[in-house]
Amino acid sequence: MKKYLILSIVLFAGACAAPMEPVQTTQGPTETPSVIKAVKSFFKAKKAPKPALTSQQVLGKNEAWLHEKLGQPNFIRTDIKASIWMYKNKDCVLNLFLYSEITPNAPLSVMHFDARNSHGHNMDRDACLATF
SS3 content of the chain, % helix, strand, coil (to 5): 30, 25, 45
Q: CA quadruple 55, 56, 57, 61: dihedral positive or negative?
A: positive
Q: Does 38 fall in a domain?
A: no
Under DSSP, the state recorded for 21 is P
Q: Does 78 fall in a domain?
A: yes
Q: Does 3 fall in a domain?
A: no
Q: Does 49 fall in a domain?
A: no
Q: Which residues pair with 110 in a beta bridge?
A: 98
Q: Assign residue 41 a region: left if phi > 0, alpha if psi is -120 to 50, beta otherwise? A: alpha
Q: Does 11 fall in a domain?
A: no
Q: Does 94 fall in a domain?
A: yes
Domain that holds residue 83: 55-129
CATH number of the structural domain spanning residue 73: 3.30.1450
Mind listing the pLDDT tens digit of every residue in the chain (132 residues)?
Answer: 666 555 566 555 556 655 566 666 566 556 567 777 776 766 675 665 667 889 999 999 999 999 999 999 999 999 888 999 999 999 999 999 999 877 767 889 999 999 999 999 999 999 999 998
> Into how many domains does the chain fold?
1
